[in-house]
Amino acid sequence: MYLLRRLASRIRGKKKEEPKAVDTPDEPPAIREAIDEPREATPPEEVEVAPGEPFTAPRETPRVGKREPLPTGTLVASTATTELRIDETSTSNIARAARIRPQAVSEIVAGEALKRDEEGRIHIKIVFYGPSLSGKTTALRWLFANVRALAKGKIVEISDELGRTTYFDFIPVSAGEKVIFDVFTVAGQRRHATQRINVLRGVDGMIFMADSTPEQMNENLASIQELRIALGTDRMATLPIVVSLNKRDLPNALPVDRMIQMLDLDGYPVFATVATEGKNLLRMFQRILRDSLVYKVGV
């Protein structure tokens, strides 16, 4: 009986003892501390507001996913659908309707697919492409007025009451008696996509004219995107293309290397131009005439 009473007393004593904390390797000390000893919430800081000034509650600092600030001077172009995105299906349909098809082998081989008129002269088509008001027509007018070494025909302009091209501008330029360069500009406004892509049919050389101002970067991006869809990968890879970064005289003109990076035009000949003054236009024009002549004729 005595032994039974002592055994029962020991069992009751063990129940009254407090359990000891046991460290487990799967539970980090910081987590155990947060669970075992919850901390009081830090009261919000008092914000002084000047009389008459609206009060804006301070934003809570996020615990995770904090973004690093962008470097000073970084340009972030909008990717909003209404501002930038070109509908690929619609553009491809317009290109097919304009009979812009993948290149045949004969088109790639110089001297094989030549366009001749009734007098036997070879015609090479050059197109100024780019967003509205980037300076395409201004550049063509300057070339028409100042390039005396080339025989030029009459310039044809189809424009609206504000002087903006609504279909295309055109001027034939003769290089000797056997070669004619048919030089076109296109309407840059978004609503003229059908007319613009139709002008691309049979193109032999391209001048992509971009606007150097930050406000027009989305239009530059949309224009080059449309051009890539309409021409296709094969023509973009083989067609002679030079790049004109126009309006370089403006104080807020974007850096040349930054524009080339954003437009993904690395590897193309690039000219920093001022169409209103004719700066670098002649050099740019001579380069595309030479490259397209070699591309089509092989000389």
* pLDDT (tens digit per residue) in 97-140: 989 988 888 888 888 889 998 889 899 999 999 998 899 989 98
In a domain, 178, yes or no: yes
99's tokens = 């009979």
In angstroms, the first-to-last Cα distance of the chain is 122
Q: Which of 37-41, 138-142, 148-152 has the highest mean pLDDT?
A: 138-142
In a domain, 95, yes or no: yes
Share of the chain above pLDDT 90, in %: 41
Say whether pLDDT at 80 is over 50: no
- Identify the residue with better confidence: 174 or 36: 174
pLDDT of residue 61: 41
Q: Look at the chain and report how many structural domains it folds into.
A: 1
pLDDT of residue 25: 44
| Mean pLDDT, rounded, of the chain | 75
In a domain, 37, yes or no: no
Share of the chain above pLDDT 70, in %: 63
When mean pLDDT is compared across 149-158, 188-197, 204-213, the lowest value belongs to 149-158
- Identify the residue with better confidence: 79 or 206: 206
Q: Which amino acid is at 35?
A: I
**Which CATH number does the domain housing residue 204 bear?**
3.40.50.300
**pLDDT band per the 50, 70, 90 thresholds, residue 176:** confident
- Identify the residue with better confidence: 4 or 85: 85
For residues 224-247, give the mean pLDDT.
94
Contact of 33 with 27, CB cutoff 8 Å: no
How many residues are given for the chain? 299
In a domain, 190, yes or no: yes
pLDDT of residue 141: 87
Domain membership of residue 233 as a residue range: 88-296
Say whether pLDDT at 150 is over 90: no
In a domain, 78, yes or no: no
**pLDDT band per the 50, 70, 90 thresholds, residue 62:** very low
In a domain, 222, yes or no: yes
pLDDT of residue 12: 60
For residues 217-238, give the mean pLDDT.
94
pLDDT of residue 84: 58
In a domain, 25, yes or no: no
In a domain, 35, yes or no: no
pLDDT of residue 102: 84
| Cβ contacts of 134 within 8 Å, gap of 6 or more | 188, 209, 210, 211, 216, 219, 220, 246, 247
Cα–Cα distance, 294 to 259 (Å, whole number): 28
